């Protein structure tokens, strides 16, 4: 019998653009993608940056995963969160059913995903992919899928974005990438949904010193991530959406600064697995 309720794996942790450089590979160079598995092997994916390509390869290598239902939740449609979809192997498998979900806090779902695959951007249009596809606009409503409940909430980000509070049998993971602090109403929303989370995955793209130059770009600092974790009784903080200019040394320095104030902090690393 499993002692865990959710297994979280990081397939992409980078923000803005992939950075497959030697000095970045300790943490990883692929853009945002998370996998959550339940003990019954139900599969949920959050965001579809370049990391989802390797996730698809992993699924195809596992014969048990060649035919299955996949639930894919998107926070928004900026390039670094959807650019892996055309390279996601299960998209082309007639044995796979993929349901795409998005909240009301970003723009139109189906049109946005199909739009990146039209001429002249990609040689295969979405309608030629062999998988069965469904599109679910959540609005702002909670959805329950088997033993997993997903509750969307609004984030402060240019053109809109949504975070997710993800729960299963009392365990809570909060995914809040692409979020900028400084919006009074949405700062309060962030704290409401982060309350008592076992794991908080939070945007930490900028250092405190960098942030003034990039105010309005839609991203946070490690200091704000720590503030949320401290104020909301979070058990573990994971710093996410690493800036493409930050190599492993820089991300480790950010991790150390955050740990000085909130000891149970780690920088997200590709391939790392956390059981909740």
CA-to-CA separations, 214 to 206, 208, 220, 247, in angstroms, rounded: 8, 11, 10, 19
User: Looking at residue 65, what is its pLDDT?
Assistant: 56
* Residues 6+ away with beta carbon under 8 Å from 81: 31, 32, 47, 48, 49, 74, 75, 178
pLDDT in tens, 174-214: 999 999 999 999 999 999 999 999 999 999 999 999 999 99
Domain 7-269 has CATH 3.40.50.300: no
H/E element, 58:
helix 51-61
pLDDT in tens, 54-102: 999 999 877 655 668 999 999 999 999 999 999 999 999 999 999 999 9
Q: What average pLDDT does range 150-154 have in this prediction?
A: 98
What is the DSSP annotation of 77-101?
--HHHHTTGGG-GGGG-TT-EEEEE
N residues, the chain? 276
User: Using CA atoms, how far apart are residues 163 and 76, in angstroms rounded to an integer?
Assistant: 9
Give the dihedral of Cα atoms 115, 126, 46, 134; nearest 10 deg: 110
Mean pLDDT check: name the lowest of 52-61, 212-221, 251-260: 52-61
The rounded Cα 15 to chain-centroid distance in angstroms is 10
User: Looking at residue 23, what is its pLDDT?
Assistant: 97
Which pTM was predicted? 0.97
Give the pairing of strands 7-12 and 33-37: antiparallel
Mean pLDDT check: name the lowest of 94-108, 140-154, 259-273: 94-108
CB burial of residue 166 (10 Å; 0-12, 13-18, 19+): buried
Domain boundaries, the chain: 7-269
């Amino acid at each position: 019998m499993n002692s865990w309720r959710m297994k979280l794996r990081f397939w992409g942790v980078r923000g803005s653009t992939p950075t497959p450089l030697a000095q970045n590979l300790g943490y990883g160079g692929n853009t945002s993608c998370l996998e959550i598995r339940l003990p019954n092997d139900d599969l949920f994916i959050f965001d579809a940056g370049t990391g989802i390509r390797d996730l698809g390869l992993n699924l195809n290598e596992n014969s048990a995963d060649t035919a299955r239902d996949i639930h894919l939740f998107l926070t928004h449609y900026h390039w670094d969160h959807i650019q892996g979809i055309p390279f996601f192997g299960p998209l082309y498998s007639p044995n796979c059913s993929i349901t795409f979900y998005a909240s009301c806090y970003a723009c139109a779902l189906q049109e946005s995903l199909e739009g990146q695959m039209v001429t002249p951007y990609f040689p295969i249009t979405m309608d030629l992919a062999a998988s069965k596809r469904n599109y679910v606009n959540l609005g702002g409503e909670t959805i329950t899928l088997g033993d997993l409940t997903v509750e969307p909430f609004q984030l402060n980000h240019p053109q809109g974005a949504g975070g997710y509070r993800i729960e299963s049998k009392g365990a809570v993971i909060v995914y809040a990438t692409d979020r900028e602090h400084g919006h009074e109403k949405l700062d309060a929303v962030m704290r409401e949904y982060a309350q008592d989370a076992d794991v908080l995955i939070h945007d930490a793209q900028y250092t405190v010193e960098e942030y003034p130059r990039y105010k309005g770009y839609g991203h946070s600092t490690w200091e704000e991530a720590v503030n949320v974790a401290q104020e909301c009784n979070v058990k573990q903080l994971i710093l996410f959406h690493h800036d493409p200019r930050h190599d492993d040394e820089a991300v480790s320095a950010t991790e150390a600064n955050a740990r000085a104030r909130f000891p149970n902090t780690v920088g997200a690393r590709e391939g790392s697995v956390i059981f909740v």
